[in-house]
């Protein structure tokens, strides 16, 4: 017997939903990049730099995700 969740029409509908959600995420990301393209001054401890605001946001998000991943990994080991 075939599982109703794995019928071709269900798989196609699920795949289509995934593609639509991914496309929506890409559109939002592009809009976010365009909306945050202005230059900002970033102050470090001893120096400063000018860069695009989106770079600052993406680096901050990546560092936050890395810290969360490392913390979750440390909890699993205990």
pTM exceeds 0.85: no
Q: Which of 29, 26, 23 has the alpha carbon at shortest distance from 61?
A: 29
Rg of the chain on CA atoms, in Å: 21
pLDDT score for 78: 59
pLDDT score for 45: 86
CB atoms within 10 A of CB 68: 10
pLDDT along the chain (78 residues), means of 10: 63 89 86 86 90 86 88 76
Q: Which residue has the tokens 């699993």?
A: 76
H/E segment holding residue 12: helix 8-35
């Amino acid at each position: 017997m075939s599982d109703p969740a794995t019928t071709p029409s269900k798989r196609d509908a699920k795949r289509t939903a995934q593609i639509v959600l991914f496309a929506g995420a890409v559109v939002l990301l592009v809009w976010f990049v365009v909306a945050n393209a202005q230059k900002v001054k970033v102050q470090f401890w001893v120096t400063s730099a000018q860069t695009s605001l989106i770079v600052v946001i993406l680096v901050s998000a990546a560092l936050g995700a890395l810290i969360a991943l490392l913390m979750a990994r440390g909890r699993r080991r205990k």
